[in-house]
Amino acid sequence: MNFKIVHNNINVLDLEKSLKFYEEALGLKESRRKEAADGSFILVYLGDGQSGHLLELTWLRDRLQPYNLGDNEFHLAFETDDFEAAHAKHLKMDCICYENPAMGIYFINDPDNYWLEIVPAKK
């Protein structure tokens, strides 16, 4: 029996704002979506065009309050082939929330305050 990771899910309050952020900050594009017939939810799957792994954004119509992210210790990591350019872009977007120069990484946060780790490509 074999398993492979196919997607991660996060819940978002403002779907359009999140879609814009993920495309601008990380180049993720919508690969498919599922909308409830009654309009109660929308699932949007985002891909990087390189791997098969997807990020599923879940929007719930009746959710009005921000999500409780606890200590926000969980995160997704993204590898970039141009760390300096990515850092400059995210600095300009004002979405860098934590930097660890000693480890050579930094984190950005999305519109719902999920942390996303940015790491340089392994050489």
Measured at the CA of 53, the angle between CA 56 and CA 100, to 5 degrees, comes to: 90
Does residue 84 carry a catalytic annotation? Answer: no
* The model scores a pTM over 0.85: yes
Q: Is residue 94 part of a domain?
A: yes
Q: Is residue 69 part of a domain?
A: no
Closest CA to 116 of 48, 64, 43: 48
At residue 3, the pLDDT reads 80
CB 28 within 8 A of CB 55: yes
Please state, in angstroms and rounded to a whole number, the distance separating the CA atoms of residues 36 and 34: 7
Q: Is residue 109 part of a domain?
A: yes
Number of domains the chain contains: 1
Q: Is residue 27 part of a domain?
A: yes
Structure token digits, residue 66: 């921000």
At residue 18, the 3 state secondary structure works out as: helix
Q: Is residue 49 part of a domain?
A: yes
Q: Is residue 68 part of a domain?
A: no
Q: Is residue 85 part of a domain?
A: yes
Closest CA to 59 of 19, 112, 13: 13
Per residue in 3-57, pLDDT (tens digit) is 888 999 999 999 999 999 999 999 999 999 999 999 999 999 999 999 999 999 9
Residue scoring higher pLDDT (104 or 2): 104
Give the domain CATH number at 101.
3.10.180.10
Q: Which of 30, 79, 99, 117 is catalytic?
A: 117
Structure token digits, residue 53: 């792994």
Q: Is residue 66 part of a domain?
A: no
At residue 32, the pLDDT reads 97
| Parent domain of 56 | 7-61+74-120
User: Residue 35 contacts by C-beta under 8 Å, 6 or more apart in sequence?
Assistant: 41, 42, 43
